[in-house]
Structure 1
């Protein structure tokens, strides 16, 4: 490969480094997730996605019609939509849908054989159903993750030919102490839901056979899994005239979507990526993660020119937060990831006042 993982120090641990030059805009690497899962409310709001790779199961036109509540809407260039509904298949026992038999087979062989349960009139009594419903009541959209990826992680370990190797693959995402895991778990669940962590834990224990995973089903093991997910979200050439026309149509389309659906517009989920997880944070990242294949396959794209030997970094913060003060950025990083950034931008701003950007704004308004 054109990248390598290296040890850095006791603070950063490891990092991802380029073995060759990359030009801005080039794809550094692509990888499929070890495991992924659609957000709970995202599915509840009708965002149909393959249960294995998250590829949309509705056409772009169907998606736009639903989001705008305009069943008569027609999209230009709808022939460019890559959703092939003729390939959609579903589990005969639980009705979960997949974009193809390839994904259905892969899911069954990796985790679904363990998690699948037959359709029953008492479906709502199943602990996995209750776990999902409780999570939804604790975390209204927009979500940042879902607890439902944890059963998939555990089922993946149980179904693996080599469970120890599978367990080690997931443990690579865990580099914290028991106390750190506890802090992240409670921050992730929210202060007002601290008492419900035991209920979530009990539902998971009821849902899973302890074979090969008993240590993950302890209270400490459960907090480790919560911390794990808490710290780890077709171009077509047109003529200038067509591009202007399309831009106007898209502007109007998003205006209609905003009126009916707000900003809740995409298939969204959580996933664990082996290579991407080795990318350290920087407030001036030289790469970003994108999804060029309309599914869960991740593409890491260079934002700037990267030289052989350079560390490849991404941002753990959204674009808006990156523009805030050093203190604001590090406050969020410390709360959510338990580290303070020492990138060149933060070093340059090291002597700035320790106030948040909001406080800066307030002081400017009062002057």
Structure 2
């Protein structure tokens, strides 16, 4: 009979094993724990209970955005922090009527639907605002300035609504232009092939941060202009849960998890190849920062491509920012931010990202007028769907609220929410149990949550 470890002992060993192999499934994790502690006696049932306890300690982290002036959007809501588990949210600053518009918002970055993204690549939608072109818009169109100024075999068909959109883009397009920055070609090919929305949105964030550090004047006279500090503060404020942590407890098998690891490595390599310039040696860097920089893979780049990138990124990027964008941790956290915060149409919105989920939402996200040919196709409008009292939280549904409890919970697990215990879900679960006279659905939910 082996030694039965205490919960604290078992948790410490599980944490240690998972830090080295975060993708292990239940059986392989148990084998690894027993290899590390061969005198122990631990059942898979006991391990599942410990994992469930650990699950409760792993929440997305978020912070209020010091650069966000909520009053510019609306005087009807105010941001609050509910606690470490729930994080931040929005509550009504006054009584709100059903049907009332609370605010309108343009995205921090926009990863458009793939048909629009493809249209941007071939010049039939604006490369900046994503407005789709019609026969009535050609006179104002402006082609990518690099497409006509180079003898390179590479081509860029990007087109802008007008010189205003071209100016607003700053050097963000230049970094993603295969003519101006040929080092981005593999990254663009990866994004086009994989159709991975989080990767596209994270790429847009990386480009916007790098552009801001070049002192770009793109959009400086616009109402929504943000300087480099505000851009970085906004990016850091989005709720974060590393992408590899999001599926630690899901039902994906080891093969699927291995495939995910390869995808993470591929996007990191693409980003490094496209945009990363190693900082010069600096003995004043902290050991932890130096370690993170050493983790960034060195991807070979030809002298011509190196010169092209340095021509765009003339101002060196601070080492701590490079580490936060290009290290493995930085990439996984960035992808996690996108997965948690992207609106369904692909926009990343600073104020919208405060909204928490409810299976009984009192707010609706609308795309008005909803015409991809109209101006501001990425803009959202937030409308109250019911009366909201001052101090009450304003919430949206991350899933279709018309689905039954089992389907809603299944969808919510994809957001790493675990089992939803809201008032509606608890009530409907009880009704299902009473109707079926059993607990089959609940047991299915728990098995899915634990990944077994």
TM-score under structure 2 length normalisation: 0.56
Q: Is the 8 A contact 1:184 1:230 kept in 2?
A: no
Q: Which fold has the larger relative contact order, with Cα–Cα distance below 8 Å and residues 6 or more apart in sequence?
A: 1
Q: Is the 8 A contact 2:243 2:335 kept in 1?
A: no
Shift of 1:288: 1.4
Alignment match of 2:326 (pick from 217, 240, 259): 217
In the superposition, relative to structure 1, how do residues 310 and 88 fare at CA in structure 2: closer, same or farther (>3 Å)?
farther
Shift of 1:85: 4.0
How far apart in 2 are the matches of 1:289 and 1:355?
35
> Hey, what does 1:43 align to over in structure 2?
117
In the superposition, relative to structure 1, how do residues 40 and 133 fare at CA in structure 2: closer, same or farther (>3 Å)?
farther
Shift of 1:344: 2.7
Range with greater deviation from structure 2 (127-136 or 147-156): 127-136
Say if 2:188 is the partner of 1:132. Answer: yes
Alignment match of 1:200 (pick from 258, 263, 267): 267
Alignment match of 1:334 (pick from 397, 410, 413): 413
3-state SS of the aligned residue for 2:83?
coil
Q: Is the 8 A contact 1:173 1:277 kept in 2?
A: yes
> Hey, what does 1:308 align to over in structure 2?
390
3-state SS of the aligned residue for 1:147?
helix
Extract unaligned runs of 5+ from structure 1: 60-82, 234-267, 360-367
| Within-5 A mapping of 1:68-87 | 84-87=137-140
Q: Which structure is larger by alpha-carbon Rg, 1 or 2?
A: 2
In the superposition, relative to structure 1, how do residues 183 and 158 fare at CA in structure 2: closer, same or farther (>3 Å)?
farther
How far apart in 2 are the matches of 1:178 and 1:136?
20
1:8-55 deviation digits (Å, cap 9, x = unpaired): 232211111122233222211011111113344543377943222222
3-state SS of the aligned residue for 1:175?
coil
Alignment match of 2:167 (pick from 92, 105, 108): 105
Shift of 1:164: 4.2
In the superposition, relative to structure 1, how do residues 36 and 116 fare at CA in structure 2: closer, same or farther (>3 Å)?
same
| Within-5 A mapping of 1:1-367 | 1-40=75-114, 42-44=116-118, 48-58=124-134, 84-93=137-146, 94-108=156-170, 111-118=172-179, 126-139=182-195, 145-160=197-212, 163-176=228-241, 180=245, 183=248, 191=257, 192-210=259-277, 211-212=317-318, 213-215=321-323, 216-232=325-341, 270-293=346-369, 294=371, 295-317=377-399, 319=400, 322-351=401-430, 352-353=432-433
How far apart in 1 are the matches of 2:184 and 2:89?
36
Shift of 1:306: 2.1
1:172-197 deviation digits (Å, cap 9, x = unpaired): 1133368626759998xx64453232
RMSD (Å), alpha carbons: 3.4
In the superposition, relative to structure 1, how do residues 181 and 225 fare at CA in structure 2: closer, same or farther (>3 Å)?
farther
In the superposition, relative to structure 1, how do residues 177 and 206 fare at CA in structure 2: closer, same or farther (>3 Å)?
closer
Shift of 1:299: 0.7
In the superposition, relative to structure 1, how do residues 89 and 29 fare at CA in structure 2: closer, same or farther (>3 Å)?
same
How far apart in 2 are the matches of 1:44 and 1:137?
11
In the superposition, relative to structure 1, how do residues 208 and 32 fare at CA in structure 2: closer, same or farther (>3 Å)?
same
Shift of 1:276: 0.4
Shift of 1:312: 1.0
3-state SS of the aligned residue for 1:6?
strand
How far apart in 1 are the matches of 2:244 and 2:267?
19
> Hey, what does 2:16 align to over in structure 1?
none
In the superposition, relative to structure 1, how do residues 185 and 197 fare at CA in structure 2: closer, same or farther (>3 Å)?
farther
In the superposition, relative to structure 1, how do residues 284 and 329 fare at CA in structure 2: closer, same or farther (>3 Å)?
same
Q: Is the 8 A contact 1:22 1:305 kept in 2?
A: yes
Shift of 1:56: 2.0
How far apart in 1 are the matches of 2:249 and 2:179?
35
Aligned residues: 287
Q: Is the 8 A contact 1:287 1:300 kept in 2?
A: yes
Q: Is the 8 A contact 1:2 1:20 kept in 2?
A: yes
In the superposition, relative to structure 1, how do residues 41 and 12 fare at CA in structure 2: closer, same or farther (>3 Å)?
same
Shift of 1:114: 3.6
